[in-house]
């Protein structure tokens, strides 16, 4: 039974009230269904993983394709879906607001908007503009459904501006502009993660991780853990290792570790309410 959009949004917001949860990142519908089957309480899209599945680099997928992707995943999943909505696909607050409204209409339970410009010479939006963009996203969400969780991301640590003080300044301002959850991907160590969590407490903080343990991050007060494109990279890694073995050695030994077709057919069997639709 597919949960209603309203129910998924209520569940997602409740997850941010206390405790810590892992929100892994599928890159297509199949990976989303597989992750849901493992019992995760929420999932999030990954711009990088989606782009790679289309044969493109990250940040090279357009708004219309992303909206269709969000609709497909949100419409199939029982668990809440958070959208990696990049920079809102616009520079101006007005453009961000218009696009965020369309993202809300796809049925997602939350979405993130980041402060990166895509311009290597000036990789972050000026402070005032960055804050105005988050305020515009909040207003657009509230006009559609205030229950949708807005995550504000500050990208300094992954776009060549690794300044902890500036990151905290931006995230604090984003919270004051209406963000529900704060996120600074690329924080390099436990000390800096802990500093961000302390500075923003009691507001929920998302951490991007590629190692360590969920328990260790929970102990720091992290509320939400995501993995970005790491699961997609893992899948691509095994695919490429297997294909290289075939191309270079003419052997097929890695097939032995693959799930059977029957297992995958069972995993992806349509639930009763989706059959014959």
The predicted structure's pLDDT at residue 270: 67
Q: What is the pLDDT of residues 99-109, one digit of tens each?
A: 999 999 999 99
Unique residue bearing structure tokens 């969400």: 141
The confidence score (pLDDT) of residue 157 equals 97
Query: How far is the CA of 83 from the CAs of 107, 130, 189, in angstroms?
Result: 10, 19, 26
Q: What is the pTM of this model?
A: 0.95
pLDDT at 197 over 80: yes
Of all residues in the chain, what percent carry a pLDDT higher than 90? Answer: 95
Mean pLDDT of the chain: 96
**Ordered domains of the chain (ranges, CATH):** 5-230 (3.20.20.60)
Question: pLDDT tier at 274 (50, 70, 90 boundaries)?
Answer: very low
pLDDT at 224 exceeding the cut of 70? yes
User: Do residues 153 and 185 touch, judged by C-beta distance below 8 A?
Assistant: yes
Alpha carbon dihedral 197, 200, 202, 204, in 10-degree steps, equals: -70
Instruction: Tell me the per-residue pLDDT of 227-261, one tens digit each, with 9 for 90 and over.
Output: 999 999 999 999 999 999 999 999 999 999 999 99
Q: What is the 3-state secondary structure (H, E, C) of 45-114?
A: CCHHHHHHHCCCCCCCCCHHHHHHHHHHHHHHCCCCEEEECCCCCCCCHHHHHHHHHHHHCCCCCEEEEE
In this prediction, residue 211 carries a pLDDT of 85
């Amino acid at each position: 039974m597919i949960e209603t959009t309203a129910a998924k949004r209520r569940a997602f917001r409740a997850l941010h009230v206390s405790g810590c949860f892992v929100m892994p990142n599928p890159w297509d519908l199949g990976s989303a269904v597989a992750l849901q089957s493992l019992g995760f309480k929420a999932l999030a899209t990954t711009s990088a993983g989606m782009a790679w599945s289309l044969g493109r680099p990250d940040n090279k997928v357009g708004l219309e394709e992303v909206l269709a992707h969000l609709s497909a995943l949100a419409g199939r999943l029982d668990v809440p879906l958070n959208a990696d909505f990049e920079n809102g696909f616009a520079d101006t607050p007005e453009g961000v607001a218009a696009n965020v409204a369309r993202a809300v209409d796809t049925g997602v339970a939350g979405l993130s908007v980041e402060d990166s410009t895509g311009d290597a010479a000036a990789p972050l939006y000026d402070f005032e503009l960055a804050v105005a963009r988050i305020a515009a996203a909040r207003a657009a969400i509230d006009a559609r459904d205030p229950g949708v969780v807005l995550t504000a991301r500050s990208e300094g640590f992954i776009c060549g501006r690794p300044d902890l003080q500036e990151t905290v300044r931006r995230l604090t301002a984003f919270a004051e502009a209406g963000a529900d959850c704060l996120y600074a991907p690329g924080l390099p160590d436990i000390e800096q993660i802990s500093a961000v969590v302390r500075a923003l407490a009691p507001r929920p903080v998302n951490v991007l991780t590629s190692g360590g343990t969920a328990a260790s991050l929970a102990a720091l007060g992290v509320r939400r853990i995501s993995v970005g494109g790491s699961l997609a990279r893992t899948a691509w890694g095994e695919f490429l290792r297997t294909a290289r073995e075939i191309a270079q050695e003419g052997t097929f030994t890695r097939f032995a570790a693959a799930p059977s077709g029957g297992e995958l057919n069972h995993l992806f069997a349509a639930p009763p309410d989706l059959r014959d639709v």
